[in-house]
Structure formats: C-alpha cells, structure tokens
C-alpha cells in the first residue's frame, strides 16, 4: 500500500456510487466547515491579523515557485520516510499546534491525537489545548509539545516535567505570540476563548499553577484566568532565557516563529536543535513577509547546524513538495486539519491527512523522484 492508493480507493468506491464523505479540495472542505460552525469559532480559526495581507503573502509565495517535472525516470515506487532528531517517521508531515480545538468540535484534540496516531504522524500539542497533556497522550503516537512560555519558571518547569512523563519527546517553543496580534474578526465579535476558560486545561491541571491560586480553578475560574493570562501574555522572553529550557528538557528543542536568518543563527548558537520557519499562519503581524519567501535564505544560513521545519500556508501536497524542495525537513499543517475536525471529527482529520499524503506522494512521483531524500531546489523554478 502507498499513500497514493487513497486516490484509487476513492475511485473504486465510485463504482459503487459512493463519493467521499468529505470534500477532497481543501477550499470546499473549509466551505463545509463554514456551514457547520458558528461565526465565533470559524473566524477564530480562519481569521488573520489586520487586513489578512500576511496570510495572503503566504499563499502568494507558494505560487511564485513552480515544479519542474522530469520524465522517463522510474518513480513508480516512492519512499516518504523521514528522519528527524534520530527518530524515523513515515512522512515529512506533522500536525501544527492549534489550540482550543473544542470550540470546533467537543472532542477537539482527542480526535486529532487519534487521527495522527493512526498514521504515525507527530501531533504538536498546544499549551492552549482543550484537554490536559495526559489526556491527549492516552492514544499514543508520536507526540510533541508546544510551549507558550509562562513568566513563572516553576510553572514552566512543572509543565515540562508533566510533558516528559506523558511521553512528549520534542519541545516546540512558540516565540511569535508573546502577545496577541491585532485580529479584527475576533475583535468585532469581542471573542477570546481563553477568557471564557476554553483552552486552559493544561495550566488548570498543573499543580504548581494551582498553588498560585487562592481557590482551585473549579471554584473560581475567573480568578484562575486572570492569573494565567498575564503569566504568558504581554511580555516577551529573551535569548538569554533559553538556557532554562535547554537545561531542563532532555530532548530536541525547536524555536517556532523564525523569519530572519540572523535569528536562526542565534538559535543555533543557543544550543537549539531546530527551528520552525513560520509567521503563525498570518495571525500575528499584518504586512509581514510570506514564510516560504524567507525559507531558502534561512536554510542557507543554518541548514548544516539546525533541522529546519516549515509552516504557514500549507494547503496541499504540492505545497508540501515545494517547502521540502526549498530545504525544510518537515512541514506542519494547521487549518486544513481543523476543517476536517469540524466536518467529521477524527475521521475528517484522517481524511485531510490522507489527502495531503496522497498528493505529496503522487507529486513526488510525477516530478520524477522516488524518495523525499532526492528532493531539492532543482525540482523548482521561481517565477
């Protein structure tokens, strides 16, 4: 069985007059989610900073690169296996950290964890998850933890210790969201899920954080929210503080939100293992550079010293192909699997991931390549 077989399975079902239960095209899938979701959760996921120009720049950056296929090469069998930080994965695809998934569907991150585990793909669990670290880890599968870094070292270390005990082996530190960007869709609706205590399961279940409260969160949720929000929002960390994480996390550490080659070099100097080239899907700064536009220069600067991952704008397997060709070792997908969650829970997410993998597999073969390891910039041409 190959990932591309998912396509033929759909065609075979067509002989029995069965169509896919969820759209294959991600834009139609989003339209399905839009029909199912109320305005507030839909726009919390779909919305971007300011005018949306950074989100648009992400997509425009993909359009500037074109695939140059090669012919008469035997690529009938493909190998998408990828090694990251000494561990083998079936494909260079991971599920980006997306918080408050319960606003989309009650099972939220639990459904996402099951879908990712069924395919052997890493799920990056957000600090803003709707369920605790321990609950999400129950279904097994590769599990990475994304940290929104509290300004309380004891709380930080307690959460990291819990993540380690629950089997999370890679730490992803988000740098670009130390305070919320200007998000008009959410502002127009006066909607921030954290203030409604959604997405706070991890801190609310943490013993050290709970010790900071005069009453447990179950008895006074408003006070708990007022304690947590300023603990991680509104004040930035600095490069010299990374040593705390390096000294207290035994596994790989990635810095997410890197958009400048100098910052990538500083990450290497600070002893980090990898970076995620990302602008948070255009959710933080309006008018910022598209992430794919800066990927080649960042890879050129640190590709020998750091493992470079990529997110922001991945919608298709062809998008993943382009980011990998430009030097990313793995791509993270975000909004598309959330639309799958909205449309069909665990099954909808699995459908989205299988579509992405099938298209990546087919694109690789049709470009004349039989292995992800063979993919490089020679497969592309810039418009």
Positions annotated as catalytic residues are 280
Residue matched to tokens 């919390």 = 44
Residue matched to tokens 């929002």 = 233
Token pair in block for residue 214: 């005069």
Asked if 371 and 141 touch (Cβ cutoff 8 Å), the reply is no
Rounded to whole angstroms, the Cα distance separating 187 from 209 reads 28
297 burial type by CB count under 10 A (0-12 exposed, 13-18 middle, 19+ buried): middle
Rounded to whole angstroms, the Cα distance separating 6 from 376 reads 26
Rounded to whole angstroms, the Cα distance separating 210 from 155 reads 9
Token pair in block for residue 245: 């994480």
Rounded to whole angstroms, the Cα distance separating 25 from 280 reads 23
SS3 (DSSP) at 364? helix
DSSP 38-67: -HHHHHHHH--STTSHHHHHHHHHHHTEEE
Closest alpha carbon to 175 in 241, 261, 269, 256? 256
Asked if 292 and 321 touch (Cβ cutoff 8 Å), the reply is no
């Amino acid at each position: 069985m190959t990932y591309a077989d998912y396509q033929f399975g759909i065609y075979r079902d067509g002989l029995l007059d069965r169509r896919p239960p969820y759209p294959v095209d991600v834009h139609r899938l989003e339209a399905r989610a839009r029909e199912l979701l109320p305005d507030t959760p839909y726009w919390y996921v779909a919305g971007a900073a300011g005018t949306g120009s950074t989100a648009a720049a992400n997509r425009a950056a993909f359009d500037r690169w074109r695939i140059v296929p090669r012919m008469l090469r035997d690529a009938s069998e493909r190998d998408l296996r990828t090694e990251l930080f000494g561990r083998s994965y079936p494909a260079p695809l991971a599920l980006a950290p997306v918080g408050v998934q319960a606003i989309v569907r009650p099972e939220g991150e639990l459904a996402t964890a099951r879908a990712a585990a069924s395919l052997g793909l890493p799920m990056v669990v957000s600090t803003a998850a709707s369920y605790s670290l321990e609950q999400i880890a129950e279904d097994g599968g590769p599990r990475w933890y994304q940290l929104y870094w509290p300004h309380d070292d004891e709380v930080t270390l307690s959460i990291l210790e819990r993540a380690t005990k629950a089997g999370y082996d890679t730490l992803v530190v988000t740098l670009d969201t130390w305070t919320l960007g200007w998000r008009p869709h959410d502002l127009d609706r006066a909607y921030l899920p954290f203030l409604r205590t959604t997405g706070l399961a991890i801190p609310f279940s943490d013993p050290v954080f709970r010790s900071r409260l005069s009453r447990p969160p179950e008895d006074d949720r408003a006070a708990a929210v007022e304690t947590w929000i300023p603990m991680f929002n509104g004040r930035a960390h600095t490069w010299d503080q990374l040593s705390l994480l390096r000294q207290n996390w035994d596994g790989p550490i990635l810095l997410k939100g890197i958009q400048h080659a100098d910052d990538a070099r500083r990450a290497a100097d600070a002893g980090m293992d990898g970076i995620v080239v990302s602008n948070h899907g255009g959710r933080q700064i309006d008018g910022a550079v598209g992430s794919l536009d800066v990927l080649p220069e960042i890879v050129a600067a640190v590709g020998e010293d750091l493992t470079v991952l990529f997110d922001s704008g991945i919608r298709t397997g062809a998008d993943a192909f382009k980011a990998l060709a430009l030097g990313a070792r793995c791509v993270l997908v975000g909004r598309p699997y959330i639309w799958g969650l909205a449309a069909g829970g665990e099954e909808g997410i699995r459908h989205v991931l299988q579509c992405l993998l099938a298209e990546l597999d087919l694109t690789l073969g049709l470009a004349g390549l039989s292995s992800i390891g063979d993919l490089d910039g020679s497969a592309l041409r810039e418009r």
